[in-house]
Structure 1
Amino acid sequence: MSKRSTTTMAAVALVCAVTVLTAPGAAYATPGPRPSPSGSPSGAAGTPPSALRNTDLEAVRKKIDALYHDAAVATDAYNAAEEKADKQSVEIVKLAQKIAAGRKKLDRLKSGAGAAAREQYRSGGIPSEARFMLSGDPQQFLDHAGRMYQGQQATKNLLSELTRTQKDLAGYAEDASARWKELEEGRKKKAAAKKKVERQIKQAQTLESKLEKKERERLQKLEEEAEREAQTAWLSSGVLKEIDGKATKAGKEAVQFATAQLGKPYVWGAEGPKSYDCSGLTSQAWAAAGRPVPRTSQEQWKQLKHITVADMRPGDLIIYHDDASHVGMYIGDGAIIHAPRPGRNVTVAGAGSMAILGVVRPDA
């Protein structure tokens, strides 16, 4: 933002009891103005990283956040291109099978047409009906009249089917060519998205690596503080009092799967079983529950049923940021499980620790 595992709901309750409202380790704070990724982490010219003030460190945090956000958007583009390529490959295989079957049918029809032509040649080119009429035996003509008509219809049907099969084969070949072209275009988009993901992540990691250990610790505290403030503001709205939805059987299974992945690392483009990105986690969790959902957070937002925050229940997916670039699974008590970003592990976070775009329901 291919892997199956289960665990018990007790794990969810235990984790929630410890971490639900503070949401440590969450991926993003509520987005502020998007700063440029370029620039030095120092607050003033010549100021070493160790002397960074909190205000300067906050600027660094926002830059890193923006870079990881852009990486998440590019990851969604990569995943979408990969998913589309998989579907196109399946379509190409099906078309190839149709073409092979069509060619066999065409050979069979041509063989039948050839047999009819050879029969006409052996008869000297005289139509069978003419031979019947010249035989001088009316009874023979009457006996064979029905067969003659059936033969005419069979020949007509044979030629029609031959023409239709040739047309079908041409259509299959044209479709296959179009699919191959789309596949190649998708490959280029996928490659471009991969480069962007890697570039954004490298810039963020380089920026963070320039900080000394104490600065990195302070940076993490600033991240946690921003997430805590966002979660507190969300809870202060009283929204949690309105949320009382109960998980369905499939929802419980999805939550159990997601819970079993706690502690596994975020890896962009991954969908298990050893690592996940955000939508890789949610799509695999719902696949394990028997309800496949789109691979990317943006397509989950587009295709799944939208519900209000007040109506959400465990297993529902919360989509974050105005570009739907992140997703987490609601597990109840104001918390989500999600795969945050590079350098973080699958964790529990406050549902309101990031800017909520909306909620979708896979098992509506």
Structure 2
Amino acid sequence: MSTSAIAAPVDPGPSADRTGKPPPAAPAAPAAPAPPAPPQGVAPLLTELQKLYQQTEEATEAYNGTAAELKRRTAQAKRLGAALAAARTALSDSRDAAGRLAREQYRERSDFSGYARLLLAPDPEHLMDQEHLLRRAATWRATTVKRLATAEKRADALASESRKVLDRQRALTTRRGKQRDTVRARLGVVEAKLAKLSAAQLAELARLEQQGTAKAQSALAASGALSSVRPPSAAGGTAVRYAIEQLGKPYVWGAEGPDSFDCSGLTSRAWARAGLVIPRTSQEQWRQLRKVPLNALRPGDLVVYFPKATHVALYIGNGLVVQAPRPGTRVKVSPVASNPLLGAVRPDPGGAPLADYRGPRLPDGATEGSDTGYGSSSAPGQ
């Protein structure tokens, strides 16, 4: 009989008890907290906010254009109403005259009966007088009929035009409401983004934009665009003085003074004070007014910004403009390159420059304040 080998007992090791069973597992150490997500880069955020502000200004200027057209249509409707009332009075008078003519003819006072009586008249001289009166009567009758027809046509035409204008007013009112809602929505997007930023991020946004403005201003000066100082016309000088008097007043979209302004509200009101009515919106100012090169700028000219001409400021000389920058800001003096330049226009190209001109003194704090509006925005309330 063979013998079998006996296996040696296995050492359970330090992790097992004497029964050979492993001890209960120790609780796992808590996981380290995930590192916070890095904040969004400020430079891309600046680009995004600039785009949002530009879109908001586009919507604002569209609203302003509709409001200006609505104002014109309202004035037109008022003129048409007065003209229609006068036409209806004239029509009533013409109908009264036509009624008298019909009654006379009914009483046999026609041309034929009068002529027959003249044939029987014994006095030829008297006959000639009567013939003259008959001709005058015939002319009056023809004129009465023509005046009646003309009055009817004019009253009908004015009534039709008045209906069209009223329909246009209703359509413009609806469009203005939709544009107002668009502005509110876009400003709401800006406000929501700004509300999430820290004070440090807001400060960095302002620093980056000021840095960009300084760089653009230096490049513009180096090109020679701001090397010449030209005096304004008399009207341009008045516009400059008015604009400077508005420093510190708040930007409110759609406002054209006297207590608050948007960008084109300020420029149009300044030139109105100078005695010249110019278009209300920045796009129409760019489209309708005489364009001038940047190296020919003189105080009173309007500097227009962005590819769609959605922002405008008033040039005051020495490379500076007065502008109502954005919601959340106040009217201030800024470098001419504070926004991407499109070009410049002159409201009074025929105005002779003043022989002697000294620009108005800028008050303390004229250049202070943000060009950006970061930190708050004025939501539209109209």
What range describes the TM-score normalised by the shorter chain of this pair? 0.7 to 0.9
2:193 matches 1:215? no
- The amino acid of 2:190's aligned partner reads A
Of residues 334-343 and 348-357 in structure 1, the stretch that sits farther from structure 2 once superposed is 348-357
Hey, what does 1:19 align to over in structure 2? none
Hey, what does 1:102 align to over in structure 2? 87
- 1:124 positional shift: 6.9
| C-alpha distance in structure 1 between counterparts of 2:171 and 2:225, whole Å | 45
2:276 matches 1:284? no
Structure 1 unpaired stretches of 5+: 1-44
In structure 2, relative to structure 1, the CA distance for the partners of 1:344 and 1:136 (3 Å cut) is same
Of residues 265-274 and 125-134 in structure 1, the stretch that sits farther from structure 2 once superposed is 125-134
In structure 2, relative to structure 1, the CA distance for the partners of 1:354 and 1:141 (3 Å cut) is same
In structure 2, relative to structure 1, the CA distance for the partners of 1:167 and 1:47 (3 Å cut) is farther
Q: Deviations over 1:189-237 (max 9, x none)?
A: 2112111111111101110110122221222222212222221222222
Q: TM-score, normalised by structure 1?
A: 0.83
- The amino acid of 2:259's aligned partner reads K
In structure 2, relative to structure 1, the CA distance for the partners of 1:351 and 1:124 (3 Å cut) is closer
Answer whether contact 2:91 2:155 (CA < 8 A) is retained: no
SS at match of 1:328: strand
Answer whether contact 2:271 2:278 (CA < 8 A) is retained: yes
Q: Which structure carries more relative contact order (alpha carbon 8 Å, separation 6+)?
A: 1
- The amino acid of 1:119's aligned partner reads E
2:281 matches 1:296? yes
- The amino acid of 1:244's aligned partner reads V
2:99 matches 1:111? no
- The amino acid of 2:224's aligned partner reads G
Counterpart mapping for 1:351-362 below 5 A = 351-362=336-347
| C-alpha distance in structure 2 between counterparts of 1:127 and 1:168, whole Å | 35
SS at match of 2:334: strand
Structure 2 unpaired stretches of 5+: 1-33, 350-382
Point out the structure with max Rg over C-alpha: 2
Question: Aligned match of 2:119 in 101, 116, 133?
Answer: 133
Identity %: 35
Hey, what does 2:225 align to over in structure 1? 239
Q: Deviations over 1:331-359 (max 9, x none)?
A: 11111110111111111111123221111
Hey, what does 1:192 align to over in structure 2? 178
| C-alpha distance in structure 2 between counterparts of 1:212 and 1:205, whole Å | 13
In structure 2, relative to structure 1, the CA distance for the partners of 1:47 and 1:296 (3 Å cut) is farther
Across the aligned residues of Structure 1 and Structure 2, the Cα RMSD in angstroms comes to 1.8
Q: TM-score, normalised by structure 2?
A: 0.79
Question: Aligned match of 1:148 in 127, 134, 141?
Answer: 134
- The amino acid of 1:323's aligned partner reads K
- The amino acid of 2:117's aligned partner reads R
| C-alpha distance in structure 1 between counterparts of 2:89 and 2:326, whole Å | 52
Answer whether contact 2:225 2:296 (CA < 8 A) is retained: no
- The amino acid of 1:345's aligned partner reads R
- 1:170 positional shift: 1.0
Q: Deviations over 1:264-307 (max 9, x none)?
A: 11110001111110000000011111111110000001111111
Hey, what does 2:164 align to over in structure 1? 178
Of residues 179-188 and 282-291 in structure 1, the stretch that sits farther from structure 2 once superposed is 179-188
- 1:135 positional shift: 4.6
| C-alpha distance in structure 2 between counterparts of 1:260 and 1:124, whole Å | 76
Hey, what does 2:52 align to over in structure 1? 67
Answer whether contact 1:235 1:352 (CA < 8 A) is retained: no
Question: Aligned match of 2:296 in 298, 311, 329?
Answer: 311
Q: Deviations over 1:78-128 (max 9, x none)?
A: 010010011111111111111111111111111111112212222376632
Answer whether contact 1:229 1:353 (CA < 8 A) is retained: no
SS at match of 2:175: helix
Hey, what does 1:18 align to over in structure 2? none
| C-alpha distance in structure 2 between counterparts of 1:52 and 1:238, whole Å | 41
Answer whether contact 2:224 2:295 (CA < 8 A) is retained: no
